[in-house]
Structure 1
Amino acid sequence: MTRRLASLSLAVFLLPVFAGEPVALFDGKTFEGWEGNTGSVWRIEEGALTAGSLEKKQEKNDFLATTKEYGDFELTLKWRLEGSEGFVNGGVQFRSKRIPDHHEVIGYQADLGAGYDGALYDESRRKKMLAQPSKEVLATCQKPVGEWNEYRIRAEGPRIQLWLNGVQTVDYTETEPGIETRGMIAVQIHGNATSVVQYKDLVIREL
């Protein structure tokens, strides 16, 4: 009996570990596990999901999304953004949905670029900034344009936390009823800008 109880206890203890193993969302070579405009907008360069050009303007927002949905998770990734004119911006969507027959998605976005690094935005739903770091906090974690940055995004129940380059920039608790708690993850290039955005090393751990 004691041996059986010990074995059961060990199994219960190990279950969350196996259930929450880190998984790479992007293999650095193919679009396996992703869907979107892979022929006209998104491409793979230097092992990164890449969109945009420094010679030609991106006319409208575009999103490359995972084929799988996620609820509670912790996601880490690296991103890089540079541009010459317009609203040079991107973002990482989560708990999001595509709008049918439209180029937009709705859901939470870890914003980046155009002065919004480290901020949490509600894309195409409430269309407002939900939380953002102070200038003082941002000054401790922003990198020069063109350098790789790292995002850590944690969504657990109503609580959402963001870290930019190791510094926490957002700790937000959702209070509005009816907001989706599960959805796809997507990366964005913002429209109306001449810019290039890249994302790589996307690793998720479900909670």
Structure 2
Amino acid sequence: MKQLMLPAFAAAALGIASCGGASTGEQKDPVTAGTENVAAAPVTENVLSEAEKAAGWKLLFNGQNLDGWRVYKGKDGKTWSALEGTLHCTGSATDKSDMRGDLITTDQYENFELEADWKLAPQGNSGILYLVTEEFEAPYMSGPEYQIIDDNNFPEKLEDWQKSGANYAMNPPSKLAAKPIGEWNHTRIVVNKGHVEHWLNGEKVVDTQMWTPAWEEAKATGKWKEYKGYGSAQKGHICLQDHGSEIWFKNLKIKPL
């Protein structure tokens, strides 16, 4: 999530940016529903099962290095590394240097299902962006963002569309589903011909359709009205945001649809 200073954009206008709407009813993730009380079997991190391979899943992080990733626009960033089986971004409240940078996949994706586990530092702020292109100064100028933030302790007041699981500045989450800071969260993002779903810890929190008249109106009247390229690409990179906060990712995988 870009800095939360939005004096030029009315919160009321953003409030209508449901563009197909976050789902208001409680919906359980069919992948995890019914497993809440089942003892977890031992899990090997950052690998695909034979069934996942057969279904077309691709591992995005091998747990050992940054193969398949690079910093946005080829920048020589120094904040991302493979650390103890996680894809780790260092945090800094003061370092705004050119050494910071968002991380993108070398490959691009059009229609896909993405899964990732993440853990955020206290008062942290980050995100997973998709359909990102390199035409602009920053990834958020093109790619929609799955918001990741410390909902309860972030040092600035948050609007609903800024909370974890949101389609940032477009669709607020239908409920708050993030676990307490310090615990691992599971994210699913589905993008299929403009239909977008955000899932957080087994709960569907956003269900919306891009490129409809309602979506175009929300873009034209909210935060993105000055960013003509926002959400325009139908194919692009997956991006992990370096917002100056420490964050860890693991079990990143994608399945083209």
Shared fold, TM over 0.5: yes
Greater Cα shift, 197-206 or 44-53: 44-53
Match of 2:65 in 1: 30
Structure number with bigger Rg: 1
Question: Deviation per CA, 1:133-192, whole angstroms, max 9, x where unpaired?
Answer: 14xx21xx221001110100000011100100000000011125782111000111214x
Distance verdict in 2 for CA 1:68–1:171, change over 3 Å? same
Match of 1:63 in 2: 102
Q: What CA distance in whole angstroms lies between the structure 1 residues aligned with 2:53 and 2:139?
A: 35
Q: How many residues align?
A: 172
Greater Cα shift, 107-116 or 172-181: 172-181
Q: What CA distance in whole angstroms lies between the structure 1 residues aligned with 2:118 and 2:53?
A: 28
Unaligned runs of at least 5 residues, structure 1: 1-16, 122-128
Match of 1:204 in 2: 254
Match of 1:89 in 2: 125
2:89 to 51, 65, 71: 51
1:53: how far off?
Answer: 3.0
2:78 to 13, 35, 40: 40
Q: What CA distance in whole angstroms lies between the structure 1 residues aligned with 2:254 and 2:65?
A: 18
1:103: how far off?
Answer: 4.9
- 1:166 and 2:171 are equivalent in the alignment: no
The two structures have a TM-score, normalised by structure 2, of 0.61
Matched residue SS, 2:63 = coil
Tell me how large the CA RMSD over aligned residues is. 2.5
Match of 2:7 in 1: none
Q: What CA distance in whole angstroms lies between the structure 2 residues aligned with 1:205 and 1:41?
A: 27
Match of 1:13 in 2: none
Matched residue SS, 2:107 = strand
2:242 to 167, 184, 189: 189
1:57: how far off?
Answer: 3.1
The two structures have a TM-score, normalised by structure 1, of 0.74
Greater Cα shift, 60-69 or 164-173: 60-69
Match of 1:145 in 2: 181
Q: Higher strand fraction: Structure 1 or Structure 2?
A: 1
Percentage identity across paired residues of the two chains: 32
Matched residue SS, 1:32 = coil
Instruction: Indicate conservation of the 8 Å contact 1:62/1:103, yes or no.
Output: no
Matched residue SS, 1:83 = coil
Unaligned runs of at least 5 residues, structure 2: 1-51, 152-162, 217-230
Show structure 1 runs of 4+ deviating over 6 A: none
1:18: how far off?
Answer: 8.6
Instruction: Indicate conservation of the 8 Å contact 1:20/1:206, yes or no.
Output: no
Q: What CA distance in whole angstroms lies between the structure 2 residues aligned with 1:182 and 1:90?
A: 22
Q: What CA distance in whole angstroms lies between the structure 1 residues aligned with 2:117 and 2:134?
A: 23
Q: What CA distance in whole angstroms lies between the structure 2 residues aligned with 1:180 and 1:145?
A: 33
